[in-house]
């Protein structure tokens, strides 16, 4: 029998109220009914605005789709600091600027230790919790990164040998007091909810130190600081009354890393409720398989899972060792390692009455990196096998696994259920099938492997092939980048014999985006810019030059145009032409939608003749807002375009180079600002404060992180956000 959301939510609240002081079921009793879990990521944890990272607010339809997919528990990564008066207090303590970066001021006003969460935000979170519980599912409500107010401040100030570096000058007492204040309010607000609501005290605590994004050793001293944060969390919840007396609470291993689980086990906090009402949390992202996006000298990316190895791309098989040139079947992410690690978690926690959740898990989809159709199919099949192995071992050991999902549908995503287009279809049926089968469900969703692979198959067309690149905007008022990149083979690395490059293409790109008119407040930001770029030498030096400025009319959607870029056109005279690593195109702009077909890229010889460098027999690598496939150049292809806008100056241009990202933007007036890089899990990987002047400004961040990231530049009342891929 199906009830409406209002009826069941009210009914559950009434039942909980009548038994407010009766003990709730112990944590171990929740594991089986919780089943397998789902994260609603990049939403409620986004600082200040839950829709700022491209996702709409969850609807009842989306929640029902999660339930229908076989999940019975949902983790809500949630922000609290940026929805409290602590934000305003910290801004004031930082000299009154609008810089609310965690590294520059959080905790400096040590006298302010009792922040108040905005009532409207609590109600918004409650609405989401109610929708989930109305479907009979469980909810894990956590405290996520949220400007790093807790997670990046696991240290003791002057008692720490690193104090004095940057702003590490304060005690952790402020953070601990704020932790207590937030959870007292949250627990009081939800005190009548029964065991279907669980609280988690942090996300990935101790991810970075708060001065330059560098990870320091997480030692026993820091563990005691973290344990103090957990003690504050537990004490506040237990003292909030109602069902909080025995509500299941969850604490995290340092950085939520499995390797650090023993440190949590040895320092597990004491619960006033007695034994049995606590859980432990770790996350599972085997880096080389799950997140790594560029090969390094110490190791390769893992594309193909154990048992589904490639025969012609062996170096990217799971467990490949670059030194021994052989496979290590105990490498992180292999079935052997999963079985061993999950068994150790069971012994460490579950057997002692402390269930474990894998709060986040996943592996990126590499449809843009693998151009060979057969290998791509192996990769996609292997991802499903990986998710199935994790789910199978979790269930066998009494562990609850939660897949990470950001809503993104482009290359590199981990999304299973769509939500950004207002439809709630299964984007990754093969992964879902594997997990469902591990939990005794049917797992008979129609596979989409064949359709994905077919995009990379080259049509038999004598007129030649081209790359159809489609750009789809994600944000309304911030510049984004769509990248087409060609990684040059050894045979093509020497470009010194050419005087420039020639590109032939047609298409239509426009500053259109999601805005419908100037009345919506974002029409003024429409603009586009396309650059040809090159990366050369051992340090991957970056050079670029504008392309579209050569054609006053822009790109033509009906006929091909040829553009030539000479080395002398580059803003900086390129060096290392004999060791070029990659060339490509970047399309910049906010609200950019449309498509282009690239017929070829050629080198220009001194006598004016040209030599093919790439004629796109295979799909090129795409990143950001760009996706691509191979098509026949002569095909009658409809190129979609939305209404154009008048171009104006860019809000922010971003240049990504190996180890560095720089942003250029215009400021209305002089004011202090911050630039922050976050990965797709909301962790800060680099941050820089700067003094901006009126007019054009540039800020640079250095980082060794590779993969999808979000750049946030704040200056005065301006805030620019752009998704990028770090190389």
Mean pLDDT of 638-665: 58
Mean pLDDT of 185-203: 98
Please state the domain extents for the chain.
Answer: 5-284+406-425, 458-650, 651-727
Burial pattern 491-505, b for ≥16 Cβ within 10 A else e, equals: ebbebeebbbbbbbb
3 state SS of 434: helix
Tokens 């990564």 -> residue: 77
Mean pLDDT of 589-601: 80
- Per-residue confidence (pLDDT) for residue 65, from 0 to 100: 96
Chain segment 377-400, per-residue pLDDT in tens? 999 999 999 999 999 999 999 999
* Torsion angle in degrees (nearest 10) through CA of 678, 682, 685, 689: 60
At a CB cut-off of 8 Å and minimum separation 6, what does 559 contact? 506
pTM of the predicted structure, to 2 decimals:
0.66
Q: Given a cut of 80, is residue 698 above it in pLDDT? A: yes
- Per-residue confidence (pLDDT) for residue 524, from 0 to 100: 39
CA distance 34 to 32: 5
Chain segment 699-720, per-residue pLDDT in tens? 888 876 666 677 878 776 566 7
- Per-residue confidence (pLDDT) for residue 300, from 0 to 100: 93
φ/ψ (deg, to 5) at 373: -60, -45
Mean pLDDT of 151-174: 62
The top-scoring range by mean pLDDT among 260-269, 419-428, 483-492, 551-560 is 260-269
CA distance 200 to 230: 10
Mean pLDDT of 327-349: 96
Lowest mean pLDDT among 307-311, 419-423, 454-458: 454-458
3 state SS of 566: strand
pLDDT tier at 46 (50, 70, 90 boundaries)? very high
Beta bridge mates, 602: 502, 612
- Per-residue confidence (pLDDT) for residue 95, from 0 to 100: 61
pLDDT tier at 9 (50, 70, 90 boundaries)? very low
In 495-643, DSSP assigns E strands to 500-511, 529-536, 541-546, 561-566, 580-589, 592-604, 610-614, 621-624, 626-632
CA distance 487 to 5: 52
- The answer to whether 434 and 384 have CB atoms below 8 angstroms apart is yes
Any idea what DSSP says for residue 270?
P
Question: What dotted CATH number matches 5-284+406-425?
Answer: 3.20.20.80
Lowest mean pLDDT among 20-29, 136-145, 546-555: 546-555
Alpha carbon 215 to chain centroid, angstroms? 19
Chain segment 677-690, per-residue pLDDT in tens? 776 444 567 777 78
pLDDT tier at 132 (50, 70, 90 boundaries)? very high
Q: Which residue has the higher pLDDT, 493 or 525?
A: 493
- Per-residue confidence (pLDDT) for residue 166, from 0 to 100: 45
Question: What dotted CATH number matches 651-727?
Answer: 2.60.40.2550
The DSSP line for 275-321 is: TTSEEEEEEE--HHHHT--S-BTTB----B-TTS--SS-GGGBTTEE
Q: Which residue has the higher pLDDT, 64 or 727?
A: 64
pLDDT tier at 572 (50, 70, 90 boundaries)? low
CA distance 31 to 435: 16
- Per-residue confidence (pLDDT) for residue 520, from 0 to 100: 35
CA distance 88 to 80: 13
- Per-residue confidence (pLDDT) for residue 510, from 0 to 100: 53
φ/ψ (deg, to 5) at 675: -120, 130
Average pLDDT over the chain reads 81
Mean pLDDT of 595-611: 85
Task: State the sign of the Cα–Cα–Cα–Cα dihedral 347, 352, 355, 360.
Answer: negative
Q: Which residue has the higher pLDDT, 527 or 246?
A: 246
- The answer to whether 350 and 356 have CB atoms below 8 angstroms apart is yes
Percent of the chain residues topping a pLDDT of 70: 77
Q: Given a cut of 60, is residue 551 above it in pLDDT? A: no
Lowest mean pLDDT among 27-31, 103-107, 275-279, 502-506: 103-107
Residue 369, phi-psi category: left (phi > 0), alpha (psi -120 to 50), beta (remainder): alpha
- Per-residue confidence (pLDDT) for residue 554, from 0 to 100: 59
- Helix pair angle (429-438, 373-396), 10° resolution: 30
Mean pLDDT of 498-522: 60
Percent of the chain residues topping a pLDDT of 90: 43
Domains 5-284+406-425 and 651-727 share a fold: no
pLDDT tier at 514 (50, 70, 90 boundaries)? very low
Structure tokens at 375: 């290998």
Nearest to 425 by CA among 412, 415, 414, 413: 415
Mean pLDDT of 57-71: 97
> Of how many residues is the chain composed?
727
């Amino acid at each position: 029998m199906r009830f409406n959301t209002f009826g069941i939510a009210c009914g559950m609240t009434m039942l909980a109220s009548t038994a407010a002081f009766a003990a709730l079921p112990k944590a171990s009793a929740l594991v089986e009914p919780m089943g397998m879990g789902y994260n609603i990521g990049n939403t409620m944890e986004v600082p200040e605005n839950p829709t700022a990272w491209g996702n709409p607010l969850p609807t009842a339809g989306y929640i029902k789709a999660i339930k229908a997919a076989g999940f019975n528990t949902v983790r809500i990564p949630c922000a609290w600091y940026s929805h409290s008066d602590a934000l305003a207090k910290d801004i004031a303590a930082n000299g009154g600027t609008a810089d609310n970066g965690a590294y520059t001021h959080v905790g400096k006003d040590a006298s302010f230790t009792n922040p108040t969460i905005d009532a409207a935000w609590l109600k918004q979170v409650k609405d989401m919790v109610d929708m989930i519980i109305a479907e009979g599912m469980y909810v894990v409500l956590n405290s996520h990164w949220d400007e790093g107010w807790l997670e990046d401040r696991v240290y003791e100030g002057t008692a720490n040998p690193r104090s004095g570096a940057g702003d590490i000058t304060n005690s952790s007492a402020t953070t601990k007091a704020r932790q207590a204040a937030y959870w007292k309010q949250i627990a009081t607000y939800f005190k009548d909810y029964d065991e279907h609501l669980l609280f988690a005290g942090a996300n990935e605590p101790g991810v970075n130190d708060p001065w330059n994004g560098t990870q320091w050793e997480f030692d026993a001293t820091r563990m005691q600081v973290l344990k103090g944060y957990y003690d504050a969390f537990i004490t506040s919840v237990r003292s909030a009354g109602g069902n909080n007396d025995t509500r299941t609470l969850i604490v995290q291993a340092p950085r939520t890393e499995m390797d650090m689980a023993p440190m949590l086990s040895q320092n597990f906090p004491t619960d006033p409720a007695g034994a049995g009402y606590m859980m432990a949390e770790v996350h599972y992202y085997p880096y080389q398989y799950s997140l790594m996006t560029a090969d390094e000298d110490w190791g390769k990316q893992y594309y193909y899972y154990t048992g589904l190895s490639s025969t012609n791309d062996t170096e990217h098989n799971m467990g490949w060792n670059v030194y021994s040139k052989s496979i290590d079947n105990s490498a992180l992410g292999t079935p052997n390692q999963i079985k061993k690690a999950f068994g150790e978690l069971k012994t460490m926690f579950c057997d002692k009455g402390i269930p474990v959740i894998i709060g986040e898990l996943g592996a990126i989809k590499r449809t843009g990196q693998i151009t060979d159709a057969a290998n791509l199919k192996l990769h996609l099949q292997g991802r499903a096998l990986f998710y199935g192995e994790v789910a199978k071992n979790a269930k066998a050991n009494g562990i609850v696994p939660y897949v990470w999902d950001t809503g993104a549908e482009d290359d590199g995503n981990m999304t299973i259920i769509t939500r950004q287009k207002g439809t709630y279809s299964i984007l990754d049926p093969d992964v879902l099938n594997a997990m469902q089968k591990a939990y005794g469900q049917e797992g008979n969703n129609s596979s989409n492997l064949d359709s994905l692979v077919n995009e990379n198959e080259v049509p038999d067309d004598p007129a030649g092939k081209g790359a159809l690149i489609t750009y789809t905007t994600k944000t309304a008022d911030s510049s984004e980048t769509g990248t087409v990149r060609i990684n040059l083979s050894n045979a093509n690395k020497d470009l010194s014999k050419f005087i420039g490059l020639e590109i032939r293409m047609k298409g239509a790109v426009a500053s259109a985006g999601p805005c419908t008119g100037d009345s919506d407040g974002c029409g003024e930001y429409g603009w586009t810019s396309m650059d040809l770029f090159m990366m050369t030498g051992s340090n991957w030096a970056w050079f670029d030059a504008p392309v579209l400025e050569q054609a006053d009319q822009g790109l033509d959607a009906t006929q091909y145009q040829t553009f030539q870029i000479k080395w002398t056109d580059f803003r900086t005279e390129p060096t290392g032409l004999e060791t070029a690593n990659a060339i490509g195109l970047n399309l910049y702009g906010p609200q950019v939608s449309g498509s282009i077909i690239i017929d070829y890229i050629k080198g220009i010889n001194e006598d004016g003749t040209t030599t093919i460098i790439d004629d796109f027999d295979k799909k090129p690598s795409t990143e950001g807002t760009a996706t691509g496939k191979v098509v026949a150049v002569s095909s009658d292809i409809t190129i979609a375009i939305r209404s154009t806008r008048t171009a104006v100056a860019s809000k922010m241009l971003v240049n990504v180079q190996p180890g560095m990202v720089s942003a250029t933007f215009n400021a209305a007036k002089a004011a202090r600002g911050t630039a922050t890089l976050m990965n797709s899990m909301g962790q800060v990987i680099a941050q820089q404060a700067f003094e901006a002047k009126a007019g054009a400004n540039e800020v640079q961040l250095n980082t060794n992180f590779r993969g999808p990231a979000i750049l946030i530049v704040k200056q005065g009342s301006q805030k620019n956000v752009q998704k990028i891929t770090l190389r």
